[in-house]
Amino acid sequence: MMIRRPRKVKPVACKDFVEEITSYLDDALPADRLRSIDAHLEVCADCARALAQWRQVIALTGRLDEDEVDRLDPATRAELLAAFQAQPPAAPD
Amino acid sequence: MVAGATLDFSDDRVLVDALRRRDEAAFIWLLDRYDATLRRVAIGFVRNPASADEVVQETWLAVITGIDRFEMRSTVKTWLFRILMNQARTRGTRESRYDVVADVDEDAPSFDPSRFRRGPGPVKGHWRKNAGPAPWDDQPADHLASAETMAVVAAAISGLPDRQRTVISLRDIDGWTAAEVCDLLDLSEANQRVLLHRARARVRQVLEDRFVVVGP
């Protein structure tokens, strides 16, 4: 029977991790790197905070949709609807 | 079909059928769902908002004239944005604004390098004392998401280089997947990620600068 040894994790430099946060969140890192980072995050409060702030940035950016002011102006909208209605329907199959 | 029944336009077959019947509700649904996103993508390729508006309008007109020939070999969303990209690239090339490499190669670390130790030894690359991300957790939740903060976030995003702005908008505002963004913008996964990361880093820095009061 194979003896299971705890998997070794390599040390992670904070400077490197902060450039990998987006890859980390996209699950785009190799498994061993992921393990090293997870171990690092348990002991490095600053990196854990950087990650938390990345998540906050994503959440806040996501809320911009609710404040969407970039609405189609009514005149263009009316023009497009008229063009849509004016387009002759295709002959039925 | 029962008159007045609500159709589920998020189902492409229902949507395309309705568009072919010239069901106005279907076209309005499509407009409301995608117009703002189309505009956000278009602005990354052309010189000014007026050009972007024209590109988007041409896209909608192409949808109107093309819907009967659409063969559903892709989703409506993919088809729609491909039309936009064709329109935008034609015009963007004319206005010579298409430059993804510049936005990717730009050397912009997420945090000022002086915030990390230089070494030697195992401390190299770790945060310097008191140089980690400044906490803003102490902000009351409603303040963090206040209209004022949202305006700061919006301004930070508008100020980004074109390609970064397009990628963060599609990923984080419109909720597109990385694969969808790569496909639309013809980006490698790595480049897509660099652009997104730079964009988020910039927004984070702007928020840090806003919330953190430098001590006496």
Q: How far apart are CA B69 and CA B155, in angstroms?
A: 41
Cα separations in angstroms, B118 against A16, A64, A67, B43, B189: 13, 38, 43, 41, 31
Q: Which of A88-92, B64-68, B140-144 has the highest mean pLDDT?
A: B64-68
What is the least distance, in Å, from the CA of A42 to any CA of chain B?
Answer: 15
The number of folded domains in chain A is 1
What's chain B's average pLDDT? 86
Q: Across residues A15-25, what is the average pLDDT? A: 96
Triad A57, A62, A64: Cα angle to 5°: 105
* Confidence at B30, pLDDT banded by 50, 70, 90: very high
| Single-letter residue type at A77 | R
Q: Which residue of chain B is at minimal alpha-carbon distance from A64?
A: B173
**Is the pLDDT at B101 greater than 70, yes or no?**
no
Smallest CA–CA distance, residue A4 to chain B, in Å, is: 28
Establish if A52 belongs to a structural domain.
Answer: yes
**Whole-structure pTM value:** 0.83
Q: If one looks up domain B12-94 in CATH, what number appears?
A: 1.10.1740.10
Q: What is the DSSP string of B96-154?
A: T---HHHHHH----SS-GGGB---SGGGTTSBPTT-SPPP-TTS-HHHHTSHHHHHHHH
How many A-B residue pairs are in contact by the CB < 8 A criterion? 137
Q: Are B55 and B42 in contact (CB under 8 A)?
A: yes
Examine residue A78 and state whether it is found in any structural domain, yes or no: no
Domain membership flag for residue A48: yes
Would A57 be classed as within a structural domain? yes
Question: Is A49 a domain residue?
Answer: yes
pLDDT digits (tens, 9 = 90+) for B184-196: 888 999 999 999 9
Q: Residue A30 belongs to what domain range?
A: 9-66
Could B127 and A56 be called an inter-chain contact, meaning their C-beta atoms sit closer than 8 Å?
A: no
CB contact under 8 A, B125 and A76: no
Give percent of chain A with pLDDT exceeding 90.
Answer: 65
Nearest to B22 among A21, A71, A85 (CB): A85
The answer to the question of residue A31 being in a domain is yes
Question: Which percentage of chain A shows pLDDT scores above 70?
Answer: 82
Confidence (pLDDT) at B145: 77
Domain residue ranges in chain B: 12-94, 139-216
Q: Which long-range contacts (CB under 8 A, 24 or more apart) does A38-44 make?
A: A39/A9, A39/A12, A40/A9, A40/A11, A40/A12, A40/A14, A44/A12, A44/A14, A44/B126, A44/B127
Within 13 Å and on the Cβ side, how many CA atoms surround B2? 4
Interface touch B132/A45, C-beta < 8 Å: yes
User: Which of B126, B174, B200 is opposite residue A54, by nearest beta carbon?
Assistant: B200
Asked if the structure places residue A89 within a domain, the reply is no
DSSP states along B56-68: HHHHHHHHHHHGG
Average pLDDT in the B119-133 region?
Answer: 87
B42: CB partners within 8 A, 6+ apart: B51, B52, B53, B55, B56, B59, B84, B87, B88
Q: Which fold has domain B139-216?
A: Arc Repressor Mutant, subunit A (1.10.10)
Residue A75 lies in a domain: no
User: Using CB atoms, which residue from A26, A53, A63 is nearest to B178?
Assistant: A26
The neighbour count for residue B33, using CB atoms within 10 Å, is 17
ipTM: 0.82
By the 8 A CB rule, do B39 and B87 touch?
no
Query: Between these two residues, A36 and B145, which has the higher pLDDT value?
Result: A36
**Using CA atoms, how far apart are residues A34 and B50, in angstroms rounded to an integer?**
45
